[in-house]
Amino acid sequence: MNEAIFVEANVIAVHRTDGTVVPERVIIDDIIYPVDKVLRVTPISTTKRGGEGLRYDAVIDGKPNVLYLEDASSYTTVRRWFVVER
């Protein structure tokens, strides 16, 4: 089985008043891909990287894919997005 390759991405998202974050567009290498539909959002933690965040199972530009939103750690306020390269 091939190991997934994670690519850091810029994401345009809606931040709702209830605290949820909904991705609308993914930008990789200056190409904008629409997020057609979010199918499921799952909290995750990774022992390999020692982080926590959210996994978004979504349809991006007509194809199933996975987005990850890394939670900001205590020493930085940056929250990074990653997409699985297909």
Written as one string, the DSSP assignment of 32-46 is: EEEEEEEEEEEEEEE
Q: Which amino acid is at 29?
A: D
Task: Give the pLDDT confidence score for residue 50 in this predicted structure.
Answer: 61
CA dihedral (31, 14, 60, 83) positive or negative:
positive
Phi and psi of 79, rounded to 5°? -115, 120
Instruction: Please write the tens of the pLDDT for every residue from 21-78.
Output: 999 999 999 999 999 999 999 998 866 656 788 999 999 999 999 999 987 555 556 7
pLDDT tier for residue 1 given thresholds of 50, 70 and 90? very low
pTM of the complete model: 0.82
Task: Give the pLDDT confidence score for residue 45 in this predicted structure.
Answer: 82
